[in-house]
Structure 1
Amino acid sequence: MLLTISTEHKPATDLGFLLHKHPDRFQSFDLSFGQAHVFYPEAGDDCCTACLMLDVDPVGMVRGKGRNQSFLLSHYVNDRPYVASSFLSVAISQVFGTAMGGRCKDRPELVTTPIPLTARLDVLPVRGGEGFLHRMFEPLGYTVEAVQHSLDEQFPEWGESPYYSATISGTKTLSELLTHLYVLVPVFDNEKHYFVGEDELEKLLSKGGGWLASHPEKEQITRRYLKHRSSLYRQALARLVEEELEPTEDQAVSEQSEETLEKPLSLNDQRHGVVMAAIRSSGARQVLDVGCGEGKLLRELLQDRQFEQIVGMDVSIRSLEIAQKRLKLDRLPERQAERLKLIHGSLIYRDKRLEGFDAAAVVEVIEHLDPPRLSALERVLFEFARPQTIVLTTPNREYNVMWDTLPAGQFRHADHRFEWSRQEFQDWANRVGEQHGYSVRFLPVGPEDEKVGSPTQMGVFERG
């Protein structure tokens, strides 16, 4: 089996520092089930590729110390020596353990720097089909390409092949990429070559920290990683839910800071007012609030009888629980309650529940996404969900100079991944609109300054 990792970050040979493996050397490592080899077929300033080749010894593995000698033929005859599986995860942790842990003594600044990375797996057994492959990696901000390999054209009765050459690309730290591969490769295979116990649960929670709790397929990942051991995956899911519900101290402080910053302008109220006006004027009756948070806009939508079906979606279970309490869903009259539904999900993951709406509100959401994930959002919202009207707001970076309490160069919220100028927002919106058949008009939200514009900018997309 072969894993290649490539980058066009300049100088691309920085990949050697991050992996702690010199590009000019061919290195081999003994593992309990075979050997791993690391080499670089390409190493230049413009592009660098590192290969991890795993040579599994199936006979030696079965005859290992402590093994029962009365094994089945399937222990010898299987696909383990040829496909990416839990063996590859073990090799990643042992051969690239320092890189996966985010350590680099010689170039420490590289560790936390996201760089363009492409990983190719030959060959990956995907028990669940190509769609499952996309559902695993795309929510993490990767683009995915897959080529299916046939079993044998002469024997169609053998059915569809589960084997793919899979390529994922994204702007990530190398530590993130290796961690995602470490966790997900055995999930595709739905099998592990060793006993799964409490220590594997702790590994999953440790390696999945910061991303697994919000992954839309966390249940599948957890079940498969822990080999469907019900006692373990239930415990893991419970702890993941606790992690998602628990706000960090920094998050709480940053949310309060943003509210404090904008409160003198009543900016949140103005945003909702302008968004409501745009949705009303569209004539929409079925409305989707993406990133609904704690339900402030949902409450205003519910009060307007024009809207017959209202769905609020958020990636945070905690926010949905607060919204449910704020909206008093358990106390609403039956006909009112039937109009409103809360769902858990992510806007970077295709979801059929988002289809069929007249309008969608995306209020102060996109700036919380890493820029590489915007392409996934674009497809989910504009290509697959395709509401007639999309009302989208985001901060105007140029206006930040108007707040004396906001240090220069700092974002309004600690979780913002970017804040766009008016031109940057308009360039993005026009491109997306043209690509997916939407016209777009732009409106200011809040007091408008002659030089720097308004604090919030809004685009109203209408499908032609």
Structure 2
Amino acid sequence: MLLTITTTHSPATELGYLLHKHPDRCQSFSLSFGQAHVFYPEASIQQCTAALLLDVDPVKLVRGRSVRLEQYVNDRPYVASSFLSVAIAQVFSTALAGRCKDLPELVQTPLPLVAKLSVLPCRGGESFLRELFEPLGYSVSAQGHILDEQFPDWGQSQYFTVELQHTITLSDLLSHLYVLIPVLDDEKHYWVGDEEIEKLLRHGEGWLTSHPAREQITRRYLKRQQRLTRLALAQLAEEDNLDPDSTEESHAEEEAAVEKPISLNQQRMNAVIAALKQSNAKKVIDLGCGQGNLLKILLKDSFFEKVTGVDVSYRALEVAQERLDRLRLPRNQWERIQLIQGALTYQDKRLNGYDAATVIEVIEHLDLPRLGGFERVLFEFAQPKTVVVTTPNIEYNVKFENLPAGKLRHQDHRFEWTRQEFQIWANKVAERFGYTVQFQPVGTEDPEVGSPTQMGVFTK
């Protein structure tokens, strides 16, 4: 099995420093199941490719065990599997850990990288392959292979030649491959115990918690052992609650206190509901639903047939569920509501199929470099017919007597836009993704600084 990693970073040969393998030498490493070889098919200033060739010895796999036919007749020596993950961990251990003594600053630098796997089993098909890598930002190219060229009627196999392209740190690329290759194979060649949870959490740090397919990844990585899967998912949920979202409640209270004198939240909710009804949206998804303020109103209104809330914070979703439970609606009404944990900057098929999406006081919580990812997730991939976006109008902040000069309304706001800035952004998004947008003030409009909240209604 062969893995190649190519970069056009300049100078491209610095890839050798990150991998701790010199481009001018071919090196071999003895593993418990065979040999690993590292070499460079090309190494120039403009482009450099490192290759990891794994030679699995079938005899070593069965030595000392009772022999069965399938232990000799299988695809293990020829396809990417947990054997390759182990080879990555042993041969590229320093790169996987994100260490480089000679070029430490390069470790944290996103590089243009292309990883190619010559034969990768995708048990779940190409769609599952894309579900795993595309939310992480990869451009995925997959070439399927038929079962037998002499008998094309037998159809396609589950094997693909796969190319993954991304601008990313090398350690992140290796971590993704280490975890997701055996997930795609849906098998591991060694015993899986409690220590495997620690490996998953360590190599999944920073991306697995918010991955849309994290439950499938966890289940397959742990060989579908229910006890281990439950423990791992519980720890992932706990990590999620330890991030900055844990302070969301106190910050939200601060923002509410600023806006309370003018009852802005109620006016905002009324404006959103009116926009949804005007567009005749029956199925609504609230992105960044928080603790469910809008969900409660939608669920109590029989006009809306399906209501879904999405948030990255498990804690916020728990609070939202508790608040919804207090509504004491008839049992058949609960079929209209669902809550989903997910990050708004990752493509997620669960967001598809809605008449309208609401994004209420959310975009200002995103770092500006991540706003482009959110735009694609919502307007390019999910494509609801109507999108309602509200965001603070920073010009109006001078009217809040209890807000110090120069301070934003919420400690977690990355920015707050003027009316002109919001309209420039919204018009660009609408033009790029084939929508039209209309702007509406929310709250009493001041002749000089406008309304406290600005709302854009996108229609397709």
Name the TM-score class by shorter chain. 0.7 to 0.9
- TM-superposed deviation, 1:91: 0.9
1:120 aligns with 2:119: no
Of residues 201, 204, 209, the one that matches 1:208 is 204
**Which letter does structure 2 place at the counterpart of 1:41?**
P
**Which residue of the partner structure matches residue 412 of structure 2?**
413
CA distance in 1: counterparts of 2:254 and 2:388, whole angstroms: 25
- Among 325, 330, 338, the residue aligned to 1:328: 325
1:351 — aligned with what?
A: 349
Residue 288 of structure 1 contacts residue 354 of structure 1 at CA under 8 Å; is this kept in 2? no
Q: Give the alignment partner of residue 130 of structure 2, picking from 109, 130, 134.
A: 134
CA distance in 2, matches of 1:76, 1:404: 74
Residue of structure 2 in register with 1:103 after alignment: 99
Amino acid at match of 2:171: S
In the alignment, the residues of structure 2 paired with residue 358 and residue 442 of structure 1 have an alpha-carbon distance, to the nearest angstrom, of 19
Residues 1:178 and 1:273: Cα distance change in structure 2 (over 3 Å): farther
Please give the per-residue CA displacement for 1:263-298, whole angstroms capped at 9, x wherever unaligned: 535576665454344334333333221221210122
Choose 443-452 or 383-392, whichever is displaced more: 443-452
Equivalent AA in structure 2 for residue 165 of structure 1: T
Distance (whole Å) between structure 2 residues aligned to residue 398 and residue 28 of structure 1? 64
Higher mean displacement: 392-401 or 91-100 = 392-401
Are residues 1:294 and 2:291 paired?
yes
Task: Name the structure 2 match of 1:22.
Answer: 22
Q: Which among 268, 279, 283 is matched to residue 282 of structure 1? A: 279
Count of aligned pairs between the two proteins: 451
Cα deviation code 1:300-329 (max 9, x no counterpart): 334555434322233433322210112335
- Structure 2: give runs of 5+ residues left out of the alignment: none
Q: Within 5 A, what are the aligned runs for 1:224-235?
A: 224-235=220-231
Please state if 1:171 is matched with 2:133.
no
CA distance in 2, matches of 1:177, 1:451: 51
| C-alpha separation in 1, matches of 2:424 and 2:214 | 35
More moved, 135-144 vs 424-433: 424-433
Which AA in structure 2 matches 1:297?
L
The 1-side partners of 2:395 and 2:4 are apart by: 42
Q: For the Cα contact (< 8 Å) 1:226–1:233, is it kept in 2?
A: yes
Question: Does the CA-based 8 Å contact 1:358-1:388 persist in structure 2?
Answer: yes
Partner amino acid for 2:280?
G
For 1:424 and 1:80, locate their aligned partners in 2 and report how far apart those are by CA, in whole Å: 56
With over 3 angstroms needed to count, the CA separation of the structure-2 counterparts of 1:104 and 1:360, relative to structure 1, is same
* 1:375 CA displacement: 7.0
Q: Aligned in 2, Cα 1:18/1:77: closer, same or farther, shift over 3 Å?
A: same
Q: Output the aligned Cα RMSD.
A: 3.9
2:258: which partner in 1?
Answer: 264
Aligned position for 1:192: 188
Q: Distance in 2 between matches of 1:383 and 1:147?
A: 25
Q: Distance in 1 between matches of 2:252 and 2:17?
A: 39
Q: How far apart, in 1, do the equivalents of 2:444 and 2:106 lie?
A: 41
The structural deviation recorded for 1:62 is 3.3
Please say if residues 187 and 224 of structure 1, whose CA atoms lie closer than 8 Å, have aligned partners that are also in contact: yes
SS at match of 1:211: coil
| The 10-residue stretch of structure 1 (83-92 or 315-324) with the greater mean CA deviation from structure 2 | 315-324
Which one-letter code corresponds to 2:96 in the other structure?
A: M
After superposition, the C-alpha distances for 1:101-158 in whole angstroms (9 at most, x for unaligned) are: 1222223233333333332211101111111101111222323221112222322464
Q: Distance in 2 between matches of 1:106 and 1:448?
A: 59
Aligned residue for 1:192, secondary structure, equals coil
Letter paired with 2:242: P
- The answer on 1:39 being equivalent to 2:35 is no
Q: TM-score, normalised by structure 2?
A: 0.82
Distance 1:286 1:121, change over 3 A: same
Contact 1:134 / 1:144 at 8 angstroms: preserved in 2? yes
Alpha-carbon distance in structure 2 between the residues aligned to 1:419 and 1:173: 30
- Give the residue type in structure 2 aligned to 1:72: R
SS of 1:124 mapped into structure 2: strand
Residue identity matched to 1:148: G
Give CA deviations for 1:349-369 in whole Å, capped at 9, x if unaligned. 4435741x3321023445666
Structure 2 distance, partners of 1:190, 1:428, is 43
| 2:245–2:313 CA contact under 8 A, matched in 1 | no
Q: 1:423/1:138 Cα in 2 relative to 1: closer, same or farther (>3 Å)? A: farther
Q: Name 2:306's counterpart in structure 1.
A: 309
Contact in 2 for aligned 1:291/1:362 (Cα 8 Å): yes
- In the alignment, which residue of structure 2 is the partner of 1:7? 7
1:177 is paired with a residue whose SS is helix
SS at match of 2:79: coil
Tell me the secondary structure at the aligned position of residue 461 of structure 1: strand
Offset, 1:221? 1.8
The alpha-carbon distance between structure 1 residues 375 and 86, as it changes in their structure 2 partners (threshold 3 A), is farther
CA distance in 1, matches of 2:425, 2:20: 38
**Per-residue deviation, 1:220:** 2.2
Of 420-429 and 90-99, more deviation after overlay is shown by 420-429
Unaligned runs of 5+ in 1: none
> CA distance change for structure 1 residues 374 and 121 in 2, over 3 Å: closer, same or farther?
farther
Give CA deviations for 1:383-424 in whole Å, capped at 9, x if unaligned. Answer: 5543221113467899999975659xxx9528x6x8889888
Partner of 1:57: 57
In 2, distance between residues paired with 1:95 and 1:386? 44
Answer yes or no: is the 8 Å Cα contact 1:261–1:403 preserved in 2.
Answer: no
Offset, 1:83: 1.1
1:77 is matched with which residue? 73
Contact 2:146 2:155 in 1 (8 A): no
- Whether the aligned pair in 2 keeps the contact of 1:171 and 1:372 (CA below 8 Å) is no
How many percent of aligned residue pairs carry the same amino acid? 61
Q: Secondary structure at the match of 1:327?
A: helix
Partners of 1:412 and 1:195 in 2: how far apart? 47
8 Å CA contact 2:386, 2:459 repeated in 1: yes
